[in-house]
Amino acid sequence: MHLSSHGLNGMGRAFMSVRMSCGHVLPVRCFGATSWQPCFVVRGHRFCQQKVRGQYTAAASADQQTATTEVPKSNKQQQQKKQSGQKNGKNAGGKGKKSELAVTPKSEDFARWYIDVVREAQLASNGPVSGTMVIRPYGYALWEFLQQYLDRRFKETGHENAYFPTLIPLSFIQKEASHVEGFAPELALVTKGGGKDLDEPLVVRPTSETMVNHMFAQWIQGHRDLPLKINQWANVHRWEMRTKPFIRTLEFLWQEGHTAHATAEEAEQEARDMIGIYAEFARDVAAMPVLVGRKSRLESFAGADCTYTIEAMMGDRRALQAGTTHNLGTNFAKAFGTQFLDETGARQHVHQTSFGMSTRMIGGIIMMHGDDLGLRLPPKMAPIQVVIVPIVKKEADTEDVMQAVGALHAAAQQAGLRCKVDASTEKTPGWKFNHYEMKGVPVRVEVGPRDVQQGSCVVSRRDQPGKQGKQFGVPLEPQPFVSHVQGLLQDIQDSLYADAQAFTDSNIADVRSYEELQAAVAERKWARGAWAGSDEDETKIKEETGATLRCIPFDQPRSDLTCFFTGQKASEVVIFAKAH
């Protein structure tokens, strides 16, 4: 009997193993490769353990064999040798044979690669409840950059922060018919409190349109109360069946904006303005090219008249919906009686919008920019933009090297760069190089005794691994050094965006027939074509190919169009693709 280390439900690499008498090694526990953290799986690592033990027991019974928990001596020696090499920093960066990577190659298994990077870059760990995650400090720092940027832009456009309760009466959700229909499968309900049954079940917030409208109905009286623009930073819960850290979890962080307006035109403009801010953040900060457009009716938010979206192509060519805004019309206002007196004294329902971006954006940055060495972070998002690694072999050289390093660090911080010095002695320089490559630090600086003598240092850029990204002879004088690094960071930001844009452009296929769409999807590309199909046609394509209508881009060609599916005259070009 033999099971590969990743053969059970996509679980992580196994470290503990059982030797069968046939000589094969059988994994019995499922842990992360180097950090001994459980894998990110929906059903949990205990299930993996039980399942493997059950299969092992059955096989042992069938073969009348007895298993032990001893590792074969040869395997044990190999493990000890490998662990010793890792501990001493052997084969890690610099000269010599390249070490075995801690992550699965991206081209080999994209899903496993993603999980490995999240773990090894110390972005998140999975929580004790299946489908939840604990965001670690390095991962949360990425969220804070998103928060800071969007919070500033929201306030510049007249929005104010508030906070609404997590628990929502179930009757609120049921007031808007399409809203409850859309969210019913994902709701988490609280039915007991204080040891007693509740009079009415409470929904753990999946989104806040209903709670916000309950309050808006009290706050809005006349036209002078409008527009009302509110944003909240909060967590939400949706009972997802298939989970992936940052992309889809039972609980996640987001911001949700809610606005009320006197006219339909104002609400429509608000929805378009906010999707513009999301696109601005994606392109300018996250170095993420996106297509901006409108969702189809079937793909729109439950309860919205219209949904706008930014769609980004990930490294596996699947689409990611990275942010959405919704024109809610008067749907929720009518359900909750949210009205105002207009200038003529007549009662009118308010026109509303909502919009949100979540920790899913962090997953998008990982999947768009990451490579086989780990993260590649855009400098504007990187918690550490520059890491300086002193290289000292002799005690006599320490003072001169550290003095030079200290001057560079002080000048970088004074210039506003997020700079770190790693002068720890427990790890070798090679280990540190691999470590900061994994964490996606954009720029690494090496300073040794010879560099101090020559008045220069070595700078490496993360977006270009190996010799290609190394720069020798960079001035060791603080001001020229800072100027060089500032220019390099901007170049890295631009380069990441350009690479992502080129990748996106090269993987969008223009189609003129359904057969061409099927071929494009089979090649894992996005299909772009003229569309005049019905909801039923859209559903058929989804069922037969797995691709959904991602968006109807704002940028449309000005020419006569023929629908690739129906052959009828079309007025719009759309994007179909498989999605995360």
State mean pLDDT over 180-186: 73
Helix (H/G/I), strand (E/B), else coil: 536: helix
What's the pLDDT score for residue 177?
65
Above 60 in pLDDT, residue 303? yes
Q: Are 377 and 442 in contact (CB under 8 A)?
A: yes
**Alpha-carbon dihedral 192, 195, 196, 198, rounded to 10 degrees:** -30
pLDDT band at 560 (very low <50, low <70, confident <90, very high): confident
Helix (H/G/I), strand (E/B), else coil: 525: coil
Identify the weakest region by mean pLDDT among 27-36, 534-543, 571-580.
Answer: 27-36
Q: For residue range 423-446, what is the model confidence (pLDDT) as tens digits? A: 999 999 999 999 999 999 999 999
Could you list the beta-strand ranges (E) of 172-290. Answer: 189-193, 196-204, 228-237, 251-261
pLDDT band at 32 (very low <50, low <70, confident <90, very high): very low
Helix (H/G/I), strand (E/B), else coil: 296: coil
Higher pLDDT, 342 or 83: 342
Above 80 in pLDDT, residue 416? yes
What's the pLDDT score for residue 465?
87
State mean pLDDT over 458-473: 95
Residue with tokens 């997020």: 418
Alpha carbon of residue 242 to chain centroid: 15
Q: For residue range 121-137, what is the model confidence (pLDDT) as tens digits? A: 999 999 999 999 999 99
State mean pLDDT over 75-96: 41
State mean pLDDT over 41-59: 37
Q: Are strands 386-390 and 443-447 parallel, antiparallel or unpaired?
A: parallel
Angstrom distance (rounded) from CA 259 to CA 228: 5
| Cα atoms in the 13 Å half-sphere on the side-chain side of 101 | 15
| Cα atoms in the 13 Å half-sphere on the side-chain side of 82 | 13
pLDDT band at 36 (very low <50, low <70, confident <90, very high): very low
Angstrom distance (rounded) from CA 332 to CA 341: 18
Q: For residue range 311-337, what is the model confidence (pLDDT) as tens digits? A: 999 999 999 999 999 999 999 999 999
Q: For residue range 493-542, what is the model confidence (pLDDT) as tens digits? A: 999 999 999 999 999 999 999 999 999 999 999 999 999 999 999 999 99
Above 60 in pLDDT, residue 79? no
Above 90 in pLDDT, residue 6? no
Q: Are 451 and 403 in contact (CB under 8 A)?
A: no
pLDDT band at 557 (very low <50, low <70, confident <90, very high): confident
Q: Alpha helix locations (H) across 131-229?
A: 137-156, 170-174, 177-183, 209-219
Above 60 in pLDDT, residue 348? yes
State mean pLDDT over 349-376: 98
Higher pLDDT, 186 or 387: 387
Which residues make beta-bridge pairs with 319? Answer: 313, 579
Average pLDDT, the chain: 86
Angstrom distance (rounded) from CA 441 to CA 383: 8
Higher pLDDT, 56 or 110: 110
Q: What is the pTM of this model?
A: 0.82
Please choose, from the candidates 217, 206, 211, 220, the residue with its C-alpha nearest in 3D space to the C-alpha of residue 162: 211
**What Å distances lie between residue 211 and 186, 206, 357, 459, CA to CA?**
17, 11, 19, 53
Above 60 in pLDDT, residue 18? no
Angstrom distance (rounded) from CA 379 to CA 554: 29
Above 80 in pLDDT, residue 361? yes
Could you list the beta-strand ranges (E) of 65-220. Answer: 124-126, 133-135, 160-161, 167-169, 189-193, 196-204
pLDDT band at 558 (very low <50, low <70, confident <90, very high): confident
| List of residues 6+ apart from 149 with CB closer than 8 A | 281, 285
Angstrom distance (rounded) from CA 22 to CA 1: 8
What's the pLDDT score for residue 444?
98
Helix (H/G/I), strand (E/B), else coil: 158: coil
What's the pLDDT score for residue 418?
98
Higher pLDDT, 40 or 200: 200
State mean pLDDT over 190-196: 96
What's the pLDDT score for residue 96?
37
Q: Which amino acid is at 20?
A: M
State mean pLDDT over 150-163: 98
What's the pLDDT score for residue 179?
63
Angstrom distance (rounded) from CA 387 to CA 40: 29
Q: For residue range 211-239, what is the model confidence (pLDDT) as tens digits? A: 999 999 999 999 999 999 999 999 999 99
Structure tokens at 576: 């179909």
Q: Are 317 and 503 in contact (CB under 8 A)?
A: no
